[in-house]
Structure 1
Amino acid sequence: MTVTVNPVAARSTGRVVGSVRASLLVVEGLWMWYRRNWRATVFSSVVTPILFLLSLGLGLGTQIRAGAVPGGSTYIAFLAPALLVSAAVQNAAMDSTYPILSAFKWQKTFWGIVSTPVTPGQILGGRFLWLAARLLFSGVAFMVVAAFFGGVQGPSVIVSLLVSVLAGLAFAAPIVAFAATIENEGQQFNLLFRFVVMPMTLFAGTFFPVSQLPVFVQPLAWITPLWHGTELSRGAAFGTLEVLPALGHLAYLLVWVVVGLVLARKYFRVRLTV
């Protein structure tokens, strides 16, 4: 007697899941973890940027003479929209390094998900939807505190908030692609934070205009997503955005997002294909 086995049964239930629903299921799984473990990340993602804002904006800001801040604003108003973007970029970097490697290598979460009808590309899409949601939530919390202390200039802060999310995704996309290629314990991430994230945070226009840097250093700031996000966020906050520069900044950030996602999708498929 011959028994015919349906080959689709080898892949979970064989059900077909739409791309959007599959990505949302990934988001749901991340949310279920986060609502039980949010205390482990809330300090770095929300509290730390607020402490930077208060210590520098109110503390250091009292030592900056009137008229020294571009646009004649207070230092906390100058700092807030840029620090919003900087915090988003740092949070995106943290969420795109060891958590991704862990899901591949240690916890093997991705392997469990890909054994269902959810594809590697849908896993990637869910991760980025979740990252965008986290950056948005952290940004809202930050801006509420900034508004209380006079760091918000008006409703245009909504544009700054959206820009911060875009800048975070632009920086995260290529890092996720890189994390998907790592097989060892991830020591490369230490170098990334030490020689890329930290210098970029200090010298990409967050705390003072890039024009105050030596001329030969300024191009290094211009190539970072943080500088482009800072220019957009600060320009939106102060109403000084011009059309062509704004389009240039947006295009630059979108290129980083698209290229990073294309590479990440490729490496996810390669690594998660059995």
Structure 2
Amino acid sequence: MTAGTGSAPVVTRSTGRAPGRWGGGVLRVVEHLWTWYRRNWRATAVSSVLQPLLFLLAFGVGFGSLVAGTGSAQAATGGVDYLVWLAPALLAVSAVQSAAFESTYPVLSGFKWQRVYHAMTASPISPAQVALGHLVWVALKTAGSGAVYVVVIALFGGVASVGIVVSLLAAVLTGAAMASLVTAFSATVENEGAAFNALFRFVVIPMTLFSGTFFPVDRLPEWVQPVAFVSPLWHGTELARAAALDRWQPLAALGHLAYLGALLVLGIALATRFFTRRLTR
């Protein structure tokens, strides 16, 4: 180990990295991703904004007008308009879908095609900082697109209270939990075709359809319901909907937060480990 003079940092010979700069390294990664995004944001506008808007129009406005006033719909939504009941759930869905996409091909590209992660870790930035920087960026991007979506929801009359702001926070947490797990998975992928197709086909799409987004989970067959309860989207949807409709149940909310927080911690631990293993081998 060698020590610099004056205020120069101590650098380890084995890694060549300056300790004590975790936040700086993560922010450098976020800065890189922001620089790319502000020049190419139009390429992601469909997935981040237009896609949830189409869901809102198709299901909230279109399908919602068909079921409005029916007894079964009123029972399912607790007496509120279907659009108001659906809007916070679509906020969570948008966060999860965006997080899954941002944590698949872009992550593999950093390892395999553009290899920007290798360039980053040739500097004092560590693999773990690269992983954390990516996750911070996904959370920030999810919050930004979610805020736009909240404005759109309000314009269509889907906002019942200021609790929709808390719904946005719940959606960001759900997206972050999903992003951490998918990022860890993507760090182990070599053949993107089979792996990512299976992820979206057998995880993301079923999660979207059967996590209480478009209808309550208790309408599912009893043997399917426990599977839905494992989904992070169900927990995020329950939180977002409770906040938007002012239907808080403290113990249930704590349970949802604890589950999502545990998934986030697990995902971060796996992502940093797999990034380190792949970038140092």
Shorter-chain TM-score: which interval? over 0.9
Q: Output the CA distance in 1 between the equivalents of 2:15 and 2:247.
A: 54
Query: Which residue in the other structure is 1:32 paired with?
Result: 35
Residues 180-238 of structure 1: per-residue CA shift (max 9 Å, x gap): 11123342110110011101101110001011111111111110000000001001111
**Partner of residue 200, structure 1:** 207
**Partner residue in 1 for 2:264:** 257
Q: State how 1:140-155 maps to structure 2 within 5 Å.
A: 140-155=147-162
The question of whether the paired residues in 2 share the 8 Å contact of 1:17 and 1:117 is answered with: no
Identity of aligned residues (%): 51
1:126 to 2:129 alignment: no
Q: Provide the residue aligned with 1:80 in structure 2.
A: 87
Quote the Cα distance in structure 1 between the aligned partners of 2:68 and 2:49.
29
**Pairs within 5 Å for 1:1-274:** 18-66=21-69, 67=71, 68-69=73-74, 70-274=77-281
- Is the CA contact (8 Å cut-off) linking 1:12 and 1:115 kept in structure 2? no
One-letter code aligned to 1:198: I
Q: Which moved more, 1:176-185 or 1:204-213?
A: 176-185
How many Å separate the matches in 2 of 1:14 and 1:251?
34
1:100-136 Cα deviation digits (max 9, x unpaired) = 1110011101000000000111111111111011000
Contact 2:108 2:189 in 1 (8 A): yes
**Alignment partner, residue 3 of structure 1:** none
Are residues 214 and 114 of structure 1, via their aligned partners in 2, closer, same or farther at CA, if it must alter by over 3 Å?
same
RMSD across aligned C-alpha pairs, in angstroms? 1.9
TM-score, L = length of structure 1: 0.93
User: What is the letter of the counterpart of residue 60 of structure 2?
Assistant: G
**Gaps spanning 5+ residues in structure 2: where?**
5-10
- Work out the CA distance in 2 between the residues paired with 1:29 and 1:12: 22
Q: 1:161 offset after TM fit, Å?
A: 0.2
**Shift of residue 17 of structure 1?**
6.7
The answer to whether the Cα contact below 8 Å between 2:30 and 2:133 also exists between their aligned partners in 1 is: yes
**Structure 2 CA distance for aligned equivalents of residues 13 and 146 of structure 1:** 49
Q: TM-score, normalised by structure 2?
A: 0.91
> Which shifted more, 66-75 or 108-117?
66-75
**Cα–Cα, structure 1 residues 64 and 185, in superposed 2: closer, same or farther, change >3 Å?**
closer
Structure 1 position 55, deviation (Å): 1.9
> How many residues are paired up?
268
Q: Residue 192 of structure 2 aligns to a residue in which SS? A: coil
The amino acid that maps onto 2:25 is A
2:68·2:82 contact (CA, 8 Å) conserved in 1? no
| Matched residue SS, 2:68 | coil
Aligned partners of 2:177 and 2:261 also within 8 Å: yes
